[in-house]
Chain A
Amino acid sequence: MKAHNDPSGYWRANIRLITGSLIIWALCSYGFAILLRPLLAGIKIGGTDLGFWFAQQGSIVVFIILIFFYAWRMNKLDKQYGVDEE
Chain B
Amino acid sequence: MSQFAINIIFVGLSFALYFGIAIWARAGSTSEFYVAGGGVHPVVNGMATAADWMSAASFISMAGLIAASGYGASTYLMGWTGGYVLLAMLLAPYLRKFGKFTVPDFIGDRFYSKTAAMIAVVCLIIASTTYVIGQMTGAGVAFSRFLEVENTTGLLIAAVVVFFYAVLGGMKGITYTQVAQYVVLMVAYTIPAVFISLELTGNPIPGLGLFSNHIESGVPILTKLNQVVTDLGFASYTADVPNKLNMVLFTLSLMIGTAGLPHVIIRFFTVPKVADARWTAGWTLVFISLLYFTAPAVGAMARLNLIDTVYPQGVAEAPLEYDQRPDWMATWEDTGLIKYNDLNNDGRIQLYNDSGLGAAQVALNTAEADGGDVAAATAAVETARIAHDAEMDGRFANAGWAGNELDVNNDILVLANPEIANLPSWVIGLIAAGGLAAALSTAAGLLLAISSAISHDLIKRNLNPNITDKQELKYARITMGVAIVVATYLGINPPGFAAQVVALAFGIAGASLFPALMMGIFSKRINNLGAIAGMLTGLITILVYIFVFKGWFFISGTANFPDTEEYWLFGISPLSFGAVGALLNFIVAFAVSYATAPPPAHIQELVESVRSPRGAGGAIDH
- Chain A interface (Cβ < 8 Å from any Cβ of B): 7, 10-11, 14, 17-18, 21-22, 25, 29-30, 33-35, 37-38, 45-49, 51-53, 55-57, 59-61, 63-64, 66-68, 70-71, 74-75, 78, 82-85
Query: Which residues does chain B contribute within 8 Å of A21, judged by CB atoms?
Result: 85, 89
Q: How far is the CA of A18 from the CA of B611 in the complex (A)?
A: 13
**Distance in Å from the Cβ of B30 to the closest Cβ of chain A?**
23
1/0 contact string of B181-210 vs chain A (CB within 8 Å): 000000000000000000000000001001
Q: Mark B256-293, 1 if CB is under 8 A from A, else 0.
A: 00000000000000000111001101100110010011
**Minimum Cβ distance to chain A for residue B207 (Å):** 6
Complex contacts, A63 vs chain B, CB 8 Å = 81-82, 84-85, 285
CB distance from A36 to the nearest CB of B (A): 10
> Contacting A7 at CB < 8 Å: which of B88, B608, B615?
B608
A46 neighbours in B (Cβ, 8 Å): 210-212, 220-222
Contact (Cβ within 8 A) B614 A84 = yes
Q: How far is the CB of B39 from chain A (nearest CB, A)?
A: 14
Which of B106-114, B246-254, B351-359 has 4 or more CB atoms under 8 Å from chain A?
A: B246-254
Among B81, B221, B282, B615, contact of A68 (Cβ-Cβ < 8 Å): B282
Q: How many A-B residue pairs have CB under 8 A?
A: 138
**Option from B251, B293, B614 in Cβ contact (under 8 Å) with A30:** B251
Chain B interface residues (CB < 8 Å from chain A) = 66, 71, 74, 77-78, 81-82, 84-85, 88-90, 93, 207, 210-212, 219-224, 226, 238, 240, 244, 247-248, 251-252, 273-275, 278-279, 281-282, 285-286, 289, 292-293, 296, 608, 611-617
- The residues of A that contact B251 with a CB separation of less than 8 Å are 29-30, 34
Residues of B within 8 Å of A33, CB to CB, are 74, 78
Contact of A35 with B248 in the complex, beta carbons under 8 Å = yes
Looking at chain B's contact residues, the main secondary structure is helix
Question: Among A51, A57, A70, which residue has its beta carbon within 8 angstroms of that of B278?
Answer: A70
Q: 12 A–B contact pairs at CB < 8 A? A: A18-B90, A33-B78, A46-B212, A47-B211, A60-B292, A67-B85, A67-B285, A68-B282, A70-B89, A83-B613, A85-B274, A85-B613
State which of A18, A30, A60, A71 has its C-beta within 8 Å of the C-beta of B248: A30
Contacting residue for A74 out of B219, B221, B224, B278, CB 8 A = B278
Partner of A18, one of B78, B89, B219: B89
Chain A interface secondary structure, helix, strand, loop or mixed?
helix
Q: Which of B88, B219, B223 meets A71, CB within 8 Å?
A: B88
Q: Which of A21, A34, A47, A59 has the most CB of B within 10 A?
A: A47
A22 near B613 with CB under 8 A, answer no
A residues in contact with B289, CB < 8 Å? 60-61, 64
Q: Is B211 a contact of A55 with CB atoms below 8 Å?
A: no
Looking at the complex, which one of A30, A37, A66, A85 makes contact with B252 (CB distance below 8 Å)? A30
Residues in A neighbouring B66, C-beta threshold 8 A: 56
Whether B616 pairs with A85 at a CB distance below 8 angstroms is yes
Q: Name the one of B220, B248, B282 contacting A47, with C-beta atoms under 8 angstroms.
A: B220
* A85 close to B211 (CB less than 8 A): no
